[in-house]
Amino acid sequence: MKTTAILLAAGQGTRMKSTLPKVLHPVAGRPLIWHAMQAIGQSTTEKPVVVVGHGADQVTGYLGDSARTVLQEPQLGTGHAVVQAESLLKGNTDLVVVCYADMPLLRGETLRKLVEMQKNNTGPVSLLTVIADDPRGFGRIIRRPDGTVDAIVEEYVATAEQLQVKELNVGGYCFDAAWLWDALHRIPQNPKKGEYYLTDAIELAAKAGLPVQALVMEDAEETIGINTRVHLSEVEAAMRRRINQEYMLNGVTLIDPASTYIEIGVTIGRDTIIMPNTHLHGNTEIGEGNVLGPNTIIRDSRIGDYCKVLASVMEGAVLEDYVDMGPFARLRKGAHLGNHVHMGNFGEVKDSYLADGVKMGHFSYIGNAQIGSRTNIGAGTITCNYDGEKKHDTEIGEDVFIGSDTMLVAPLKIGAGARTGAGAVVTKNVAEDTLVVGMPARAIRKVEGKREK
């Protein structure tokens, strides 16, 4: 049976007080409409139709080929919005799911249950409801003695008795498509607001004696829609609890879930421990047995196994296995630390590779560099990689010892086994196994002893 979703995303969202269309505001790192698209994708068989209006170009541009879009202009209510999809869907689908793009907590599993209910319903529509003490402005569900829905009464016209009803209309529907298109053209215009409300279709079915079924949702958090930034924060907190619980159930330890922020799309291996106030963003992959945080921010990065990242920031970086970094270290885009690398406090690496076993103690900057295995970078070392116009590369071999406060003026090559004295300013290439000192640095002797081969 062909099932197609119509996602309502035309609202202006004036109470958000934002230049960004409401449905593009992020929750857990993804726009509201992304979450809605995931849910309908799990419960329908056809490409969805998204009704756009305010910020139509931005919303359509974000969706790309993932949906068909129709413009609602002017915006005359939810019933009018659904009519905009008629030309695309009439005769091309059996069931129509209608829901809102500003309900990111609504699960695909819930919509699947709704679709199954409608498949078994002899009437034209099934809808989602919830039992809640806080009505949140939702319409009240009035049921018949047989349990079917008799009407949805909006809060502003409800009687005192009806206002006591705790079953609320969530705003998720599954319609028989053939019945829907005819019913939409019979919905009366609301005399107060001049709009056409989809909920009036429910009344049309009930008055015709057709059974309207309702699926009562168990999780009230799924029903939270977003009209203000207060609602946005409520949804963010609920989504964070949902995400964090899933990680913990899959073998990740979160010391304080309430202060741990993990966005959609992050992957974390088992036995990794996440300390408080750690933020994991974007396309981040984390292996097993790591300890991350506290006070750590990781974005679009990859971390291997058994690493320790303390109070540090990573952006577009890679750690291999058994890396130890922080506190107060920063890896910028293109930083790549090999196995068993140690990076101490107040160090920064950008567009550089530190090979296995490199030690970079503290207070150093490495940029546009290739550092050989087992090399030691002394405190205060700086690769002077920018001449005011271009970036230049530094290449350091294996088993090199860079003394504290060394300035490495790129472009520069330092051979394997070489050493620099503290405070050296190295402006010329250094041969293998050579000690250089001074400013500008000069070679004084060959380095004694054997380095690793």
Four-residue CA torsion sign, 389, 390, 395, 401 = positive
HSE-CB for 84 with a 13 A CA cutoff: 26
Q: Are 391 and 366 in contact (CB under 8 A)?
A: no
Q: Which residue among the candidates 80, 336, 362, 392 is catalytic per the annotation?
A: 362
CB 227 within 8 A of CB 221: no
Rounded to an integer, what distance in angstroms lies between the CA atom of residue 308 and that of residue 139? 52
Report in angstroms the alpha-carbon separations of 226 from 153, 185, 267.
Answer: 21, 29, 27
Phi, psi of 63 (to 5 degrees): -70, -35
How far apart CA 214 and CA 179 sit, in angstroms, is: 18
Provide the 3-class DSSP secondary structure of residue 81. helix
Q: Where are the beta strands (DSSP E) in 345-433?
A: 348-350, 353-354, 359-360, 365-367, 369-371, 376-377, 382-384, 394-396, 401-402, 407-409, 412-414, 419-420, 425-426
Spatial distance between the Cα atoms of 183 and 177, rounded to a whole number of angstroms: 10
In angstroms, the first-to-last Cα distance of the chain is 68
Query: What is the DSSP pairing of strand 419-420 with strand 296-299?
Result: unpaired
CA distances from 159 to 141, 151, 154, 165 (A): 13, 13, 10, 10
Q: Which of 379, 384, 309 is nearest to 346 (CA)?
A: 379
Per DSSP, 305 falls in state: S
Catalytic annotation present for 392: no
**Residue 247, Cβ neighbours under 10 Å: how many?**
21
- Residue of 425, 427, 428, 431 whose CA lies nearest to 400: 431
Q: Assign 64 to helix, strand or coil.
A: helix
Give the number of other CB atoms < 10 A from CB of residue 182: 11
- Is beta strand 30-31 parallel, antiparallel or unpaired with respect to 26-27? antiparallel
Angle at 366 between CA 361 and CA 369, to 5 degrees: 125
Question: Which of 129, 127, 135 has the alpha carbon at shortest distance from 156?
Answer: 135
Tokens (6 digits) for 23: 């449905």
Exposed, middle or buried: residue 92 (CB in 10 Å: 0-12, 13-18, 19+)?
Answer: exposed
User: Which active-site residues does the annotation give?
Assistant: 362
